[in-house]
Every structure is written in structure tokens, then in C-alpha cells.
Amino acid sequence: MASVASTVRALPALFRIGFAQAVAYRAEFLVWVLSTTMPLIMLALWSAVARDAPVGRFGQREFVAYFLATFVVRQLTSSWVSWQMNYEIRHGVLAMRLLRPVHPMIAYAAENLAAQPLRLVVAVPVALIALSSVGAAMLPRDPLLWLVWGVALLGGWLITYLASFAIGSLAFFLESSIKAMDVWLTLFFVFSGYMIPVELFPPTVRSIASWLPFRYQIGFPVELLTSAHGRAQALTLLLAQWAWVAALGAAALLLWRRGVRTFEAYGG
């Protein structure tokens, strides 16, 4: 672990490269961002539902706040590392990456995070629209909850990234692990609060969702933003989230170490 210092020194360069890449393909990047229509489509359905009568604590306003916050959080916690790894492993490009004195887990993370400023270009206006149409009343007042939200957003990104990295590492063993990623995404869509606020599920499904990692990717930060939790509950959920971060981090490292030994750089 003598390389910690050199890794830290390399980080600014990695961020610059990642940002430059995102800017170079900005049109393509924008199309990707615009493809996040699901929260808005779900918003249409749920506000049609709330037009007749509110669902739980959700009226039309609450749904607007919830799903616009979902859009923003989804932008800020996304990662495409498993597709990238699948490509690089199959084409042998990964060999170049292995030659560099930075652990690929760090390098990929830096590249993925470096695109965030561009995502903010879309996320900030959506956040402002949400704020102007719903008002600030729904945001938490407690500064501690804002702190928890910041940590939860980081945790949400880490869960997305580490799970994606672990599944990407499966490409060492299978020909392609994109299908495995699709399965993960399907479960994510249902259980994360991305399509349906977790609290609107029937009780049994709700308790299953609290044990799975998906809710901590999107639902938890969004719930914090829309003041669904008090201090005690927020901290308990934060603990659960970081337990998942630790577990997925360990799984990702293990799969990577096992997998990279079998890497043969075919065709590279």
C-alpha cells in the first residue's frame, strides 16, 4: 500500500481526463441524461392517481417533489462502470489499464465521478423547477438531516458504483455480464423507490425493500430530501446503507482479485 500517495497525486489528472471525455462526447452524454424519463413517466401516473384522492401522505404536490427529487438523485448517483468493464475486458483494452500504477477501482471511480459536473447542468434546473413548483416547505429544516443527506448521497453513489463494479468483474468469468447487470437493474427499478415510493408498498414488500440494497441507492436520499424521516430513523437507515456499502465493497474487491488472474487480454 505504498502506492496510496501516488494514487492521491494521480487523482486530479484522472478527474481532468474523465471530465474532458464527458465534454468531448457532450451530445451523446446529453442524450444519455435525457433518457432518464422514467421518474417523469411515473410522476404522470401517480399524479393522475392523486387527482382523485391522496395516497397515504402523498398528494399531487408530494408526488411532484418526490419524483423530481428522484430524477436529480438518479443523475447524481449513476455509474456506467459495468458496461465499461464488459467492453474493456472483452476487447482486451483492460491490459493498458492494468499497466498503470493506480488501482482500476479508483481509476474507474474517478472517471465516473468526473462526469458529475455535466450531470449537474441538467440536475440543477430540475431541482430549481421542483423548488419553485412545490416550495421549500417540504425540505428538511434540521441541519443534521442535511448532513445525513450528504452522506447518504455519497453512500447511494457508492452502492451503485460498487455493485456495478462487482457485476463488471463477473465479465472475467462469463463471456459478458451485461445480462447480470440487467437483472440487477430490473430489481433496482422495482425496489429502489425509483418507480414507486417504498412507503406505498404493502407492509411485507416494504420490509423486504428495507433489507435489499436498492432502496439505499435512490429512495433513501429522496426520502430525506422530502422530509420523510426524523433524526433517529434517518440515522438507523444511514447505518444500514453503509453496511451495504461495506459489503458490496468487499464483494467487488474479491471478485476483481479472483477475476483479474484469469484475464488473458484476448485480441488486445
Cell numbers at 57, concatenated: 401522505
Measured from the CB atom, the residue of 56 and 143 that comes closer to another protein is: 56
What is the total count of residues that contact another protein (CB under 8 A)? 34
261 contact partners, CB below 8 Å, separation of at least 6: none
Q: Does 93 bind another protein (CB under 8 A)?
A: no
Distance CA 161, CA 26 (A): 22
Q: Does 176 bind another protein (CB under 8 A)?
A: yes
Q: Does 190 bind another protein (CB under 8 A)?
A: yes
Contact region with another protein (CB under 8 A), list: 1-9, 117-125, 178-186, 254-262: 178-186
116 contact partners, CB below 8 Å, separation of at least 6: 76
Measured from the CB atom, the residue of 63 and 161 that comes closer to another protein is: 63
Distance CA 220, CA 237 (A): 8
Q: Which of residues 192-251 bind another protein (CB under 8 A)?
A: 195-196, 200-202
Q: Does 55 bind another protein (CB under 8 A)?
A: yes
Alpha helices in 77-177 (DSSP H): 81-91, 94-99, 104-114, 116-134, 143-169
User: Which one among 26, 179, 257, 258 touches another protein, defined by CB under 8 A?
Assistant: 179
Instruction: Write out the DSSP string of 156-210.
Output: HHHHHHHHHHHHHHGGGTSS--HHHHHHHHHHHHHHSSSSS-GGGS-HHHHHHHH
Contact region with another protein (CB under 8 A), list: 45-53, 90-98, 111-119, 242-250: 45-53
Measured from the CB atom, the residue of 48 and 243 that comes closer to another protein is: 48
User: Which one among 5, 52, 141, 239 touches another protein, defined by CB under 8 A?
Assistant: 52
Unique residue bearing C-alpha cell 433517529: 232
Under the rule (CB under 8 A), what is the footprint of another protein?
Answer: 27-28, 31-32, 34-38, 41-42, 44-46, 48-49, 51-53, 55, 174-176, 179, 182-183, 186, 189-190, 195-196, 200-202
